Amino acid sequence: MKRVKKENDPQIRDDNTSMVDLPRDLIEKILVRLPAKSVPKLIVVSKLWSSIIRSKHFIDLYLEQSLTRPCFLLSFHRDSIRFFNSVSPSSSYTCTTSSFLDNKRLCSQSYNVSPPVRGLICCQDLDKMVVSNPSTGQLLVLPKLNTRRKLGISRFLGYDTVEDEYKVLCMTVSQVSGPFVSEEHQVLTLKGGAQKKNKEEATWRMIECKVPHCPATKGICMTTTMTGVIYYGAWSSSDRDKHESLIVCFDVKLEEFSLVKLPDGVEIESHDQSDLVNYQGKIALLNNSWVQSSFSGKFDMWVLEDVVKPEWSKISIVVPSWNDLVGKCLIKCRGAIPSFGEFIFSPAYSDSSFFIITYDREKDIGRRVVIEGLGDNLRSVSLFLDHVECPIIL
């Protein structure tokens, strides 16, 4: 029997259909309005659509739009699977998109998640690492590090705006004699355009670090049109009586390290009590333990006003009616939203509906907001404030 092809038959899309005849700029306008999780599925429409979706021009166009509406990225595990959800920081704070990495072997609950950089994150479990796009649910398994160690590995994700490259910085920490210091500094480069050969071409390269230090916090990447810099807190020594707290700056393009001194008397605490955050486009150090935040609603933040001098300013926050808002949960400050001017607090665990505490410093008003659509019994919840939807195909 002879098959009769209909006008909407997908097999004739590359012939003379109206889909293919659409101008390239119109196709881009259509694609840029779609959710990031839907865009990769459309590479099968035609060779033209595939070339557009994979192009640097389209990815930049999509991210330019996404950067105007950043969202929260929630990472948590349930039943040994790592889930990711993005939440719009609007008046309703409802869960807008949901994607998860369902490969238990690659992304189990043991994976630590780095802060997002232009839509991508880096996850680590001992010496195993993956780069993931939470918007699409895709991941890229990174090659094995050039080290025999499985413990004491720190990793940071950054972006070079000039060369359009994502880079993963890794280092091991050991103590042969004297203080703990980082060694075996390695960098792996991924093209921002998510080229097909990323996985095959990506290899670790040893680089030199002339400023001995020991990483102490997660990193945060700050980008401009001319540069990208990874910042993280560190110690110059493990000796509690002699160690010095510092901020390390890693230039992603030049692959060079530099140090910034903290204000006198300010130290980076241990046991996940210090964090670096983006505060109105500036690096800020938060020193607040789970206990301090959970029972007092007080924390101090030092903002790096000038990297060269360096010059710092201090902000002290006291959230009103704290006990009524929080209850008995262990809460920690996650940073501030520049567009809304609100500080955000969230728990690490949630047996019931997940919630956040928002604090408007100008109005001196705090409120408790329940995030709908996540379910109950969330474990090891991480909340990042500067996530953007990204269409990059890994």
Residue 186 within a domain: yes
- Indicate whether 25 and 167 sit together in one domain: no
- Indicate whether 189 and 89 sit together in one domain: yes
Residue 152 within a domain: yes
State how far the Cα of 385 lies from the Cα of 277, in Å rounded to an integer. Answer: 9
- Indicate whether 245 and 377 sit together in one domain: yes
24: containing domain: 10-57
Residue 79 within a domain: yes
For residue 99, the cross-strand partners are 84
* 292-302: average pLDDT: 76
Residue 393 within a domain: no
- Predicted structure pTM score: 0.85
Residue 306 within a domain: yes
pLDDT bin (cut points 50, 70, 90) of residue 242 is low
Q: What is the CATH number of the domain that holds 356?
A: 2.120.10.80
- Indicate whether 89 and 19 sit together in one domain: no
- Indicate whether 180 and 225 sit together in one domain: yes
- Indicate whether 75 and 206 sit together in one domain: yes
pLDDT tens digits, residue range 114-156? 899 999 999 888 778 899 898 888 889 899 988 887 778 899 9
Residue 110 in tokens: 């043991």
- Indicate whether 219 and 337 sit together in one domain: yes
Residue 14 within a domain: yes
- Indicate whether 375 and 292 sit together in one domain: yes
pLDDT at res. 9:
47
What is the count of structural domains for the chain? 2
* 154-159: average pLDDT: 94
- Indicate whether 220 and 251 sit together in one domain: yes
- Indicate whether 49 and 174 sit together in one domain: no
Residue 301 near residue 286, CB atoms below 8 Å: yes
- Indicate whether 95 and 51 sit together in one domain: no
pLDDT tens digits, residue range 13-38? 444 445 557 888 899 999 999 988 88
* 187-210: average pLDDT: 75
pLDDT bin (cut points 50, 70, 90) of residue 89 is confident
On the question of pLDDT at 185 being above 90, the answer is yes
Residue 392 within a domain: no
pLDDT at res. 303:
94
- Indicate whether 76 and 156 sit together in one domain: yes
pLDDT at res. 192:
67
Residue 345 within a domain: yes
On the question of pLDDT at 348 being above 90, the answer is no
